[in-house]
Structure 1
Amino acid sequence: MKRGPKAELILKERLELATGLFAEIVIWRVPEPVRGSSHDFKYRLALIENNIGVVRYDNEAGKGDHKHIGVDEAIYQFSGLDTLQADFWHDIERRLKR
């Protein structure tokens, strides 16, 4: 049985920001869009504070592109990887200034 193209890891990093606080970014290029998304990336970006995800961006199958800020969830309008990462870091800055 012949297998189709595989996903390609684009970026995987974990950045320690302070004790108990880190950001994790994982981005894959996928052979076809994840159900609910219209681009060829699968991603998860998260700010974890004391083992709790306080800012998260992802596009899990079925939900499509969305973000979580605390307990709130909102649709995210994906327009490219650079903008995705800039928006993520902007929300982290806002969170840390609270």
Structure 2
Amino acid sequence: MKAKLLSRIKETWGIGMIEGVIWEVPEPVPPSEHRIKYRLVYVVDGVRVVGYDNERGKGDHKHVRGREMPYVFTNASTLISDFMRDIQEIDR
């Protein structure tokens, strides 16, 4: 199985820009145990304000206003909901 694109996002949101991709991959990206590879970012004036990703060696995590913290991945739709909730909390 090759990687399968599940979602691609690039749009203006609030005062910034949302950009990201979500892939289903043949094997988990260590140390993640699921087969979803993703990166989502909300950028304002060239600065990442919110970001979610699961880069190799780090696993699932998120960045909110410069702080990195673990993220518990359950599925792609919850990932997008959690990401959007963090953006909406920032934009208040």
TM-score bracket relative to the smaller structure = over 0.9
Q: Distance in 1 between matches of 2:77 and 2:70?
A: 18
Aligned residues: 92
In structure 2, distance between residues paired with 1:26 and 1:50 = 21
- Structure 1: 5+ residue stretches without partners: none
TM-superposed CA distance for 1:7, in Å, is: 1.0
AA in 2 matched with 1:14: K
What's the TM-score, normalizing by structure 2? Answer: 0.94
Please give the residue correspondences for 1:1-98 in structure 2 after superposition, counting only pairs within 5 Å.
Answer: 5-18=1-14, 21-97=16-92
What letter is aligned with 1:13? I
Shift of 1:18: 4.5
Runs of 4+ aligned residues of structure 1 deviating over 4 Å after TM superposition are none
Structure 2 residue matching 1:32: 3-state secondary structure:
coil
Q: Which has the larger radius of gyration?
A: 1
Aligned CA RMSD, in angstroms, stands at: 1.1
TM-score normalised according to structure 1 size: 0.89
Task: Quote the offset at 1:25 in angstroms.
Answer: 2.2
Report the identity percentage: 43
Can you give the 5+ residue segments of structure 2 that lack an aligned partner in the other structure? none
Give the superposition deviation at 1:38.
0.7
